[in-house]
Structure 1
């Protein structure tokens, strides 16, 4: 069984997930019903990551997506 992820990184992942989900309420292509399944799929595709550096890269990608959504 792989070691649990770093608790601080886990907190950051959950926080960015919630932030993007919250931004999805105002998404022009259907709001939460459009954003939620895609966001969930994207995060679950990276749920296997255990290396701190890989998790940080995923967080950086999520931050980029968040900024793109905010720009809409």
Structure 2
């Protein structure tokens, strides 16, 4: 049986991933449905090592999603300020 602290970690991770899924760039991917399916698949885990492994996978998904959002913002800024040739230095 999972400890109360582990349960709270999992719930917090789920909430964070759910919030991140709101801004997911591809609506056809159906981020929330896949997220819920993964959590429901693992809800009957009892082995602490397996639970920790599932939590680490969720944290990895969180980090990759955050990296995807950062990359999207960077690309948007790069499009907003196109590369122009540098101005001639003043004499």
Any idea what the Cα deviations from partners look like across 1:5-35, whole Å, max 9, x if unmatched?
A: 211100001010010110011100118x821
- Root-mean-square deviation over aligned CA pairs: 1.7
In the other structure, the counterpart of 2:43 is: 47
Corresponding residue for residue 87 of structure 2: none
Rg bigger for which structure? 2
Q: Which has the higher contact order (CA 8 A, sep 6+)?
A: 1
- Are 1:27 and 2:30 counterparts? no
TM-score normalised according to structure 1 size: 0.86
Q: Which aligned runs of 4 or more in structure 1 are off by greater than 2 angstroms?
A: none
Structure 2: which 5+ residue stretches go unaligned?
Answer: 69-91
* Counterpart among 13, 20, 23 of residue 16 in structure 1: 13
Q: Distance in 2 between matches of 1:59 and 1:47?
A: 12
Q: What SS class does the counterpart of residue 26 from structure 1 fall into? A: coil
Tell whether 2:72 aligns with 1:66.
no
Normalised by the length of structure 2, the TM-score is 0.69
